Amino acid sequence: MIKATTREDLRVPHFTALHGLFSLIRFTGFVNFAQFVSFEALHDSSAQDFDRHVDQVIREKTLNQLQEWFDDPTVPAEQIIWLHGPASIGKTAIALEIARQEKVVATFFFNRSDPSRNDGNRLFPTLAWQLAVSIADVKTHITHVLNERPDLPKKRIEEQFEYLVAQPFAAMKKATSTQLPSCLVIVIDGIDECADIRLQRRILKVIEKAILGRRVPLQFIVFSRPDAHIQDIYNQFQCATRCIDLAKLGPAEEIKKRERYIRKREEELEEEECKLKVRVEEISKKEEEARKREEGVRLKEDEANVRELEVRRKEREMLQRAKEMEARRKELAVKYLEEEAGSSEEKAHRREEEIKMKQEELNRKEDEIMHLAEEMRQKAEEIKRQEEELMKRKEELERRELESRLEDERHQQARLQEDEMGRQKEDESKLKMKLEELKKKEDEVRQKEGEAEKKVEEASRKEGEAKRRQEEAQKLEEEARRKEEEAKRLVEVAEQREEEARRKQDEARLKMEEAKSKEEAAKELEAHINYNRHSPESTRPPLSRKASFNRSADDYDVSPSYEG
């Protein structure tokens, strides 16, 4: 297990104060900032799968290499580590384990199927949020920046990194006298799952530029597949990086088999997806046909309703005609009676019988009309009932057909699943046999590795002894260098004192020369005075320019004068 420590006076314990994460929202800038943070991309999010499998050999070798990198007391030469490997080798599982270390201050786990985790524009806002939670001084500057520029999460990723990461660290360095930590680690997993390939390149270039300029006390561990465009970017890096190929740390044959199995499963899933699409299209076509049939039935129902209305209209017309005929008959009878009032009773009786016959004929015709109307109504009802039965039969047939097809699909899916399970069991049995063989080989390799580790431990012990001696020598050398610097300082002090003494000697010499010149002037003046006393005034020599005197009472004031 990797163990790492960092200065607790500069940062809050990593991801322990969860209330601090949400207390940031009370600041004005963080109200809108939270919507640009992908909380599902954090290492301790519920969206993470903590049951991921990773080969034990790959895990141990990878963590041992990172252990040395974490334990380096100085700033490592490689401040970017790229761990790459094929799919399902265990990159995310290793990243989740590393992310729980104390030196890790921020994480981001990409996922191509999650819209909030495949957007590269959310990377630096999410990292800045975690830095604000982990480092109190950084939080103050990030909050100030977001209050000044609340639209910053919508800007280019270069500006996001500049204002949310680089400038807060620079402001923290100016504002506090405390030395910044030398090793704060950021873990980025699955950068190849970022939806925009151009954004992948830009993110890596931003990280490289920050490391080259030594603007942030950060180190990066990046996990991805060995895609060609990512490999090209790392090859163009001017800063020192360390590449760890996970495929070279584990059993290569097993990895190849897993890749083949995964590719095969992906192809089968694609085929099943195509079949499902075809089935969905067929079901859609059937639904369209059913809708068309339903529309046809509705049209027939409308036609039947129109026919029924027509029959009712004809019935009303026939009843109206019958009433009119009855009224006409009565009128004719009255007219006939009026015209034949004077005829005989027999004629009237015969006429009455004829009228009765005509009345019976009219009644019979009315009955026929009513009977025809009733038959037409019954036929319309029969047609409607037949159409309803036809619709029910069609619906039943379609339902049975759909159920039968769904049942066939279920049986087919079950057979496919059984076949798949059988193949998986066969593959698992074969894989178990091969894994047993690999375990035997691994035991042999581990035995050899144990011997090699013993030799490595012996070499590391000797190397440690050599390092200890080298450290002692360095300490002695530093002590000698310190004493040499002290001696140099003493020599400089002595030289300064000697220079001061020389300066004082020069001043004394100048004073002595001045005194001598005064003495010579005084002697010359005295000689001149003595000469003047004993010689006539006409023969007195002129007074030298080097001396002058003024009589004041009985004293002479002698002051030297120097010619240029």
Full-model pTM: 0.45
Please enumerate in sequence order all residues whose Cβ is within 8 A of that of 219, keeping only pairs 6 or more positions apart, or say none. Answer: 76, 79, 80, 81, 183, 184, 185, 186
Mark whether 299 and 185 lie in a shared domain: no
Q: Are 245 and 63 in contact (CB under 8 A)?
A: no
Mark whether 391 and 311 lie in a shared domain: yes
Mean pLDDT within 454-478: 81
More confident residue, 72 or 190: 190
- Please count the other Cβ atoms lying within 10 Å of the Cβ belonging to residue 463: 12
Tell me the three state secondary structure of residue 430. Answer: helix
DSSP, residue by residue, 290-332:
HHHHHHHHHHHHHHHHHHHHHHHHHHHHHHHHHHHHHHHHHHH
Mean pLDDT within 526-535: 79
Mean pLDDT within 85-104: 89
Least confident of 69-83, 337-351, 467-481: 337-351
DSSP strand pairing (218-224 vs 80-84):
parallel
- Check residue 343 and give its pLDDT: 63
Q: Please report, for the chain, how many H helices and E strands are present, in that order.
A: 12, 9
Mark whether 238 and 362 lie in a shared domain: no
Asked if residue 510 belongs to a domain, the reply is no
Mean pLDDT within 244-266: 74
Q: What is the DSSP letter of 343?
A: S
Asked if residue 337 belongs to a domain, the reply is yes
pLDDT for 4-40, tens place per residue? 444 444 444 444 444 444 444 444 556 678 888 999 9
C-alpha–C-alpha distance, residues 63 and 70, integer Å: 10
pLDDT at residue 75 above 70? no
Mark whether 133 and 185 lie in a shared domain: yes
Mark whether 211 and 306 lie in a shared domain: no
Asked if residue 277 belongs to a domain, the reply is yes
Asked if residue 65 belongs to a domain, the reply is yes
Least confident of 396-405, 472-481, 545-554: 545-554
- Looking up residue 82, the CATH number of its domain turns out to be 3.40.50
Domain final residue, candidates 224, 250, 276: 250
Mark whether 238 and 282 lie in a shared domain: no
Mark whether 196 and 331 lie in a shared domain: no
Mark whether 58 and 106 lie in a shared domain: yes
Surface-to-core class of residue 501, CB atoms within 10 Å of its CB (0-12 exposed, 13-18 middle, 19+ buried): exposed
- Check residue 489 and give its pLDDT: 87
Surface-to-core class of residue 83, CB atoms within 10 Å of its CB (0-12 exposed, 13-18 middle, 19+ buried): buried
C-alpha–C-alpha distance, residues 220 and 210, integer Å: 11
Mark whether 228 and 144 lie in a shared domain: yes
Mark whether 235 and 342 lie in a shared domain: no
- Check residue 180 and give its pLDDT: 61
| 346, 349, 355, 356: CA torsion to nearest 10 | -140
- Check residue 541 and give its pLDDT: 58
Q: Are 171 and 131 in contact (CB under 8 A)?
A: no
Mark whether 101 and 242 lie in a shared domain: yes
C-alpha–C-alpha distance, residues 97 and 70, integer Å: 14
Domain final residue, candidates 250, 283, 315: 250
Query: Sorting pLDDT into bands at 50, 70 and 90, what band is 553?
Result: very low
pLDDT for 294-308, tens place per residue? 888 888 888 888 888
Asked if residue 35 belongs to a domain, the reply is yes
Residue 47, H or E segment:
none
Rounded to the nearest 10 degrees, the angle between the axes of helix 136-148 and helix 123-134 is 130
Domain final residue, candidates 404, 421, 438: 421
Asked if residue 495 belongs to a domain, the reply is no
Range of the domain at 415: 265-421
C-alpha–C-alpha distance, residues 126 and 26, integer Å: 18
Please enumerate in sequence order all residues whose Cβ is within 8 A of that of 118, keeping only pairs 6 or more positions apart, or say none. Answer: 110, 111, 112, 193, 194, 195
- Check residue 11 and give its pLDDT: 43
C-alpha–C-alpha distance, residues 402 and 563, integer Å: 133
Mark whether 283 and 224 lie in a shared domain: no
Asked if residue 512 belongs to a domain, the reply is no
Query: Sorting pLDDT into bands at 50, 70 and 90, what band is 329?
Result: confident
Query: Total structural domains in the chain?
Result: 2
